[in-house]
Amino acid sequence: MSRRHGSFQICITGHKFDDSEYLIGRVRPMFEELFQTSFKVLLVKDENTMILYAYSKRVALILHEWGMPLAERNCPI
């Protein structure tokens, strides 16, 4: 989770082959149902990385209340 210039970005990363079924089939629907926010999928070119991401101050602040630290750095998007 990162904050930069007033924008809050939530990123969930994993291996694009090994974790894709779990991230897209389980994690993404769970987060979308829980937070009523759409998460986009990014497959990083020339890497084995998949990123689920969304921009939401509301979701970031809820996760922060639950103990997730806010970071100043950007997610790798």
Average pLDDT over residues 52-73: 90
Structural domains of the chain, with CATH: 2-65 (3.30.1370)
Q: Residue 2 burial by CB count (10 A; 0-12/13-18/19+): exposed, middle or buried?
A: middle
Give the containing element (helix H, strand E) for 51: strand 49-55
Is the pLDDT higher at 73 or at 29? 29
29 neighbors 59 (Cβ within 8 angstroms): no
- pLDDT at residue 3, rounded to an integer: 55
Q: What is the pLDDT of residues 10-24, one digit of tens each?
A: 999 999 999 999 999
pTM value is 0.83
Residue 5: pLDDT over 80: no
